Structure 1
Amino acid sequence: MLALIPLTVAGLVTAQTLSPLVQHSKRHQHPGGWSRMRRHAPDAVLPLRFGLSQPNVDMNTLEELLNDVSHPESPNYGMHWSPARVAEHFAPSDEAVHAVTSWIRENGFAAERVHVSRTKGWVKLNASVAETEALLRTEYHVYMHESSGQEHVACEAYNLPAHIVPHVELIQPTIDFDSILPKRSASTSTKIALGQPGAGTVSPKMTTTMPAIFSDSVANCDNEITPACLRALYGLYYLPVATADNSYGIVEYTPQAYVPADLDMFAKAFGPSLVHARPTLVSIDGGVVQQTMKSFDYDGESSLDLEYAMNLVTASQNITLYQVGDLQIGASFNNFLDALDGAFCSFEGGDDPDNDSIYPDTAPGGYQGWDCGTTKPANVISTSYGYNEADLSPAYAARQCAEYAKLGLMGVTFLFSSGDNGVAGNSGQCLYADGSPYTYGTIFNPSFPSTCPFVTAVGATQVNYGAKVTDPESACQQVIYSGGGFSNYFAIPDYQKGAVGNYLAATPPPYDGEVYNKTGMSRAYPDISANGANYVVAIDDQFALVFGTSASTPVVGAILTMINDARLAKGKSTIGFINPAIYAPGFRGAFNDIVSGTNPGCGTSGFTAVKGFDPVTGLGTPSFPKLLEAWLKLE
């Protein structure tokens, strides 16, 4: 395969023969819409990043560590780690650094070309294509996207000496195929920047505008959801008292932005004490609350999130707005995580230039800094954005998932919308048998980060037409369908085994293993749900009805923030990662079980909401009084 490599480069591989070569990673297909065009030029330079394996980041170890501080039966419940302890515990070993740098130098690279990051998370080497192909025993090709014309460089597999394999988690650029496209393509679900209109698997849907006349009555909650409806549905009647010690963060990705006048318009109708109130802005990588582009596509998400989050936690509790990414290139989840944890900036190779926005931004007017470990995480963080799991390599997804586990160890509750397309993914796309996404695929397409076992995924319910606010809700069947299903990447966590096992035994879905991962050994989602239909939202000087798990997620975040307030007022810790607790026997009955509705997609009716856990609405919707009682019993 390497016969065309010049002899001067071929000589570099001799040191590798001392240890047998092992295939480290392989891609079995490239995403739909991409075609392989040609071999990459041998003299082109690749910015190689070797992500060093960190100790204690395998899924089983992370779960054990999290259970120690998050499971209600653990004697260490609530004893969350400090950031310094987390950084020290997960730092790569000196042995890994020495092994990888020595191997690179032994293959003919001068020492001054090899750089190790300050946190020892990655090794950087700028090498020509010919040098890289000899080092990794691979071939690099140039691929082109059919509709956009964008090019992407990748290999299909690469090899490492056996003694190096334990020390390297991943290498970039290699097999990952997650280019950020300049425009949306109907033929592929490859993602675009999170804040751009239509990006991701989760985005609110608007159906109609409404007159600006409302009452505090809950008699019309089957047609219009207001804060009063949500308080009645979930028993959220609580005035916070420990607000100085508490925090609730909402994440938005530029160019998504709220309009200040809309916050006031909503406040005048539903919470006069919030008129002129604003969230505290934390700008990350040049994030701005832009006011140039105004429409539902740009204002809908942020307005929805903030109007309801601010109202439900009352004017006494401040909201932190994490605005991520500049106007030029935007941002990804990893850019946000960089700001929360400086070690993550270099963990396993740092940000992927094909997958994340790279700062400093060299574009005119771009953000010239790089926010790395600059931001303190809030106690509860709500994110109404998501990708398709299949759009990311397993290694990339695992890297990000591990970071959520680390933040959970520090006492942070991370909430993600489960998706608005039922068992389908972005734009209702499903998967082919080879794992590639396409409009007419038939295999269920899970959402990420919802499938990460270290976050809490939130689905959507509805008040049925003609029903009272006191009647049982169903899974959302209007405009959107609650995202849910089973991961193709992540194993089932211990906290879920009982609930998922009972579901599969009592009501096995009527599909074979060719449609979804029916092994019973994979992470199921969502974990919980809340209403996601008919929200009255002020957007661009008018009220509109909005639908989505984008709505349900900040509502759950507000409820958990009030529980934190009550615990903090009694000198207790924040609740942190909640999943081990909510699945435990002590929380049985603390959720309103949803037993009707489905989440269709991929040419099927999807899964069905049934008694107990189901991959449509999870454990059900929160009962604030019962959850408060259960959490106050814990130390």
Structure 2
Amino acid sequence: MRVFLGLVALATSCAVAVPSAFKTKEEIYAPRGWVKKTRPAPDHSIALRIGLPQPNFSLLEKQLYEVSDPDHERYGQHLSKEEVEDLVSPHPQSLNAVDEWLAGFGLGEKDLVRSPAKDWVIITVPVSVAEDMLDTKYHVWEHTESGDQLVRTTSYRLPSHLHEHIEVIQPTTMFGRFKGYKSTIYNIEEIPEVTTQQASAKAASFNALSGVTVDPSCNTTVTISCLKQLYNAVGYEASPDPRNSIGITGYLEQFANIQDLQSFYAEQRPDALNSTFDFIPIKGGLNNQTLSEAGAEANLDVQFAFGVSHPIPATFFSTAGRPPFKPDLITTSNTNEPYGDWVDFVLGMKNPPLTISTSYGDDEQTVPEAYARRVCASFAQLGARGVSLLFSSGDNGVGDGNSNPATQKCITNDGKNTTQFIPAFPASCPYVTAVGGTAHIPEVAVSRFFSGGGFSNYFPRPLYQEIAVRKYLKNLPKGTYKGLFNPAGRAYPDVSALSDRYRIWLSGRPVLIGGTSASSPAVAGFVALLNDARFKAHKKSLGFLNPLLYTYGLPGFNDITSGNNAGCGTTGFNATAGWDPVTGLGTPNFFKLKSIVTSPFTIL
């Protein structure tokens, strides 16, 4: 019997190893605006990310919604790192098939980097080897508008027996440019001086939306004090509870400068002076503290997220990789998808920050659907573990991020050249909270750099937003923008906040900056405060926010009903009563939300 079983095992192993004919795995049309240039050098290195199937992801998703649904008995009972990994681990057959395929190219365990759940395998190989493995040819592609360059192919193939064991391989067909969402930075001469006394002066203007009074200076310069006044958080004192935490992601060689942070604290949050944040580098991420190298994006995110949430423990992640890639004699590695590296690292942390804000993204159509789904699934893993993920919704209204919103063409990349609104990713992922932008007091949807919003073409509308979005669509005049958006898609943003004229310190001087890259970290700061309130009430962290926000959380938002998000040569969608694809559910009213999340759930 043992001999028989041994022969069966050997035969099975041999069957897996038998080469099979190549079959196309993915093929796309050359994206609009990209031109094929030269062939890369054969020894140019590519870090291939190989995604193996997650056969039990549907069970993970089910448990994510159970622990995030305030009506479910499991609400707040978040999963452990190990429990999540068990749910997304690939079948042993897939691991074996991929390992044997890689071994055929001389790649062994020492050459592989695996994600915590082993559902991703990362290998770094010369482009010549990648071409043999994928039966393809890479080229250097140039973006005609910006001059950015990428090493990419428009199709790749795999042995047919591997198709059931590999979901996606990148970088292959991904032409995303991974942008930070920020708008104009004003000159220092244009900024009125703000002192601590002025910033905390007694408010003098009533805001009917939130029912609170706000200093009139907040219409021209946004400070921490303005946000706390406007969003009804004045007087709330957080604690440095080690169970709580907040994190900011940094990319594109964006450095959060500590000297600038101290100047910001001295001006706007003097009780935070001499406090700082934990710095975590990922894949060689740097921490350049040269004042002139301070990053506007990083400084904005850190100063307001940590300023609003002080003294909650804070972390800044610096992930290496500066997309898009420019091939030259110095840079020999193609490292243009750093958020994959970031999410792998954070999933490997035993205790990741409980609230994390990211102010970067791509046009959804530039991220191949299979890859977008896998990245989105990684966010679901973090949500199941009790992490609240917030992403900026983008700054180009319903249009793409490649041109002036007033002149956008908004053409699809599917070869049909169809005119269509262009959603943003990762904001379109249903497992994250997308944050749009407002301006002025009383608040309206921003009209100068357009709050990103719309409907995903990849992800269907999740159940948690069915009622709110269906109501919006029902009230939309019949035929409005027919064919320009997918009414059945995941709708975003979910919430919003002020996103214009934030006063930060940058390279030793104060400047004003705006964008949904301002509203996302600001909202993250308030979410961290809500977690503080829940811990004080002996409750768990909020985790994935959206199922709560669209139900019991509704009374905790100021409904924004004016403004629109122009783009693609249109005025875009309008802000209106209830949820809308410009400002979502509205802007937060902290003390109302605090009452909701610390009491037995009831519709207030």
Q: What TM-score range do you get, normalising by the shorter chain? A: 0.7 to 0.9
Contact 2:45 2:125 in 1 (8 A): yes
Question: Which string of whole-angstrom CA distances, capped at 9 and with x for unpartnered residues, describes residues 385-427 of structure 1?
Answer: 2222122111111111111000001000011111111112224
Question: CA contact under 8 A between 2:504 and 2:512: conserved in structure 1?
Answer: yes
Preserved CA contact (<8 Å) 1:474 1:597: yes
Alignment-derived partner of residue 336 in structure 1: 342
Any idea what SS the aligned residue of 1:524 has?
strand
For 2:19 and 2:127, the matched residues in 1 are separated by 19
What is the 5 A alignment of 1:419-568?
A: 419-428=394-403, 430-435=409-414, 442-464=419-441, 472-478=442-448, 480-508=449-477, 511-517=480-486, 520-568=487-535
- Give, in angstroms, the shift of residue 157 of structure 1: 5.0
Pairs within 5 Å for 1:115-514: 120-121=118-119, 139-140=136-137, 142-145=139-142, 152-158=151-157, 160-161=159-160, 164-172=162-170, 174=172, 176-178=173-175, 190-191=176-177, 200-209=179-188, 210-214=191-195, 215=198, 216-217=200-201, 218-237=215-234, 238-241=236-239, 243-253=241-251, 255-292=253-290, 294=292, 298-314=294-310, 316-325=311-320, 332-341=338-347, 373=348, 376-428=351-403, 430-435=409-414, 442-464=419-441, 472-478=442-448, 480-508=449-477, 511-514=480-483
Q: Compared with structure 1, are the counterparts of its residues 500 and 164 closer, same or farther at alpha carbon in structure 2 (3 Å cutoff)? A: same
Q: 2:36 maps to what in 1?
A: 35
CA distance in 2, matches of 1:311, 1:151: 37
Amino acid across the alignment from 1:477 = S
The alignment covers a number of residue pairs equal to 546
Following superposition, the deviation at residue 632 of structure 1 comes to 1.3
- Structure 1 436/422 Cα, relative in aligned 2: closer, same or farther at 3 Å? farther
| 1:201–1:426 Cα contact (<8 Å) kept | no
| 1:326–1:521 distance in 2 versus 1, CA, 3 Å | closer
In structure 1, C-alpha distance between the alignment counterparts of 2:572 and 2:466, rounded to whole Å: 21
Secondary structure of the residue aligned to 1:604 is: coil
Gaps of 5+ in 2: 1-15, 202-214, 323-330
Matches of 2:124 and 2:505, distance apart in 1? 50
Structure 2 SS opposite 1:431: coil
Contact 1:62 / 1:402 at 8 angstroms: preserved in 2? no
Distance change >3 Å, CA 225–CA 437, structure 1 → 2: farther
Aligned residue type for 1:389: E
What is the DSSP-based 3-state SS (H/G/I as helix, E as strand, rest coil) of the residue aligned with 1:571? Answer: coil
Structure 1 match to 2:561? 595
How far apart, in 1, do the equivalents of 2:550 and 2:171 lie? 39
Counterpart AA for 1:553:
S
Deviations, residues 534-553 of structure 1 (Å, cap 9, x unaligned): 22222233322221111111
Q: SS of 1:213's equivalent?
A: coil
- TM (norm. structure 1) is 0.77
**Structure 1 contact 40–141 (Cα < 8 Å) conserved:** no
Q: Is the 8 A contact 1:532 1:550 kept in 2?
A: yes
SS of the residue corresponding to residue 164 of structure 2 reads helix
Cα shift at 1:120: 4.4
Q: 1:287/1:156 Cα in 2 relative to 1: closer, same or farther (>3 Å)?
A: closer
Contact 2:50 2:166 in 1 (8 A): yes
User: Quick one: structure 1 residues 515 and 311, their matched pair in 2 at CA, closer, same or farther if it must change by over 3 Å?
Assistant: same
Q: How big is the shift at 1:69? A: 0.6
Shift of 1:44: 11
Asked whether the equivalents of residues 397 and 566 of structure 2 are also in contact (C-alpha less than 8 Å), the reply is yes
Deviation at 1:24, TM superposition (A): 3.4
**Counterparts of 1:574 and 1:283 in 2: how far apart (Å)?**
25
Moved over 6 A (4+): 36-41, 43-49, 123-136, 326-331
CA RMSD of aligned residues (A): 3.5
Superposition pairs of residues 84-123 of structure 1, within 5 angstroms: 84-100=82-98, 104=101, 110=104, 120-121=118-119
Give the TM-score normalised by structure 2.
Answer: 0.81
Q: CA deviation at 1:83?
A: 0.5
CA gap 1:324/1:498 in 2 versus in 1, 3 angstroms: same
In structure 1, the partner of 2:13 is none
Looking at structure 1, the residues matched to 502 and 122 of structure 2 have their Cα atoms a distance apart, in angstroms, of 48
Q: Structure 1's 568 and 510: CA in aligned 2 closer, same or farther, altered over 3 A?
A: same
- CA gap of 1:569–1:618, structure 2 versus 1, over 3 A, is same
Q: Any gaps of 5 or more consecutive residues in structure 1?
A: 1-11, 179-189, 195-199, 342-372, 465-471
Query: C-alpha separation between the residues in 1 aligned to 2:153 and 2:336?
Result: 23
Instruction: State the SS of the aligned residue for 1:561.
Output: helix
The structure-2 alpha-carbon separation of the partners of 1:153 and 1:545, relative to structure 1 and needing over 3 Å to count, comes to: closer
Give the distance between the partners of 1:398 and 1:557, measured in 2 at CA: 24
Instruction: Report the 3-state secondary structure (helix = DSSP H, G, I; strand = E; otherwise coil) of the residue aligned with 2:503.
Output: strand
CA distance in 2, matches of 1:205, 1:282: 29
Query: How big is the shift at 1:291?
Result: 3.5
Question: Which residue identity lines up with residue 432 of structure 1 in the other structure?
Answer: I
Relative to structure 1, the CA distance from residue 589 to residue 100 in structure 2 (aligned partners, 3 Å threshold; closer, same or farther) is same
SS, match of residue 181 in structure 2? coil
Whole-Å Cα distance in 2 between the matches of residues 129 and 66 of structure 1? 39
Q: Is the 8 A contact 2:141 2:150 kept in 1?
A: yes
Cα pair distance change 1:149/1:310, threshold 3 Å? closer
Where 2:438 maps in the other structure, the secondary structure is strand
CA distance, structure 2, for counterparts of residue 564 and residue 167 of structure 1: 40
Per-residue displacement from partner, 1:486-505 (whole Å, max 9, x unpaired)? 11211111111111111101
C-alpha separation in 1, matches of 2:142 and 2:187: 36
**Corresponding residue for 1:53?**
53
What's the counterpart of residue 10 of structure 2?
A: none
Shift of 1:40: 11
